Structure 1
Amino acid sequence: MMKSEDVLIKALRILKRELTEEEFAIYLQQITKRSGNSVKELREKTKNLTIEELVEMIRKYQPL
């Protein structure tokens, strides 16, 4: 008899093979537990930044 973990690993391997990388990433986001309030946390972390500072931070990680 297979363990739950073995079944999960087998299912993820099948999904990874059948889905595009983007689809697989979206799937993983959907099944991953989330904690906290990301919107509230983002507002707190960015409340003292100007738009220009935010844009500069975004450009460092994802060039426009």
Structure 2
Amino acid sequence: MAEVKKNPHDSLDKLLRKFKRKLKEEGNIEHYRSKEHYEKPSEARKRREAEARRRGMARQRDEW
């Protein structure tokens, strides 16, 4: 679990931003969002293939 230390001059908003940044760096949010609903293995494979296609198309677009 991410932990943020409070400095005397930190506001609540600043602490929340630090906490959210730390969660994002650790990958906790993405992990729990992906586990929120069951995903069949075939659906997971299709999603991974679609992501790979998008990355490939972006790479080609950047090379041109």
Same fold by TM-score greater than 0.5:
no
Task: Flag the structure with more relative contact order, 1 or 2, with Cα contacts below 8 A and sequence separation at least 6.
Answer: 2
TM-score range (shorter-chain normalised) is 0.3 to 0.5
TM-score, normalised to structure 1, is 0.34
